[in-house]
């Protein structure tokens, strides 16, 4: 049961981090009219991949 709670907490933290990063990126695009750097996008994609692996793991 503890393992499930830890996994849930980890997923929750990953989602919060992704949301915050996407929010910043959105603001820079909409308010400052700046496109995100490719490195930023790659970093977010890697975080999303990590989250997916975590969710899919047993």
| Host domain of residue 40 | 2-56
- Full-prediction pTM beyond 0.75? yes
User: pLDDT tens-digit profile of 46-57?
Assistant: 999 999 998 898
Give a three-class secondary structure readout of the chain: CHHHHHHHHHHHHHHHHHHHHHHHHHHHHHCCCCCCCHHHHHHHHHHHHHHHHHHHCC
Q: Residue 9 to residues 16, 34, 46: CA-CA distances in angstroms?
A: 11, 33, 19
Structural domains in the chain (count): 1
pLDDT at 4: 87
């Amino acid at each position: 049961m503890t393992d499930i709670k830890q996994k849930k907490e980890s997923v929750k933290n990953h989602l919060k981090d992704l949301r915050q990063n996407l929010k910043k990126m959105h603001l820079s695009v909409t308010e400052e009219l700046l496109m995100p750097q490719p490195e930023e996008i790659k970093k977010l994609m890697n975080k999303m991949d990590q989250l997916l692996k975590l969710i899919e793991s047993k």
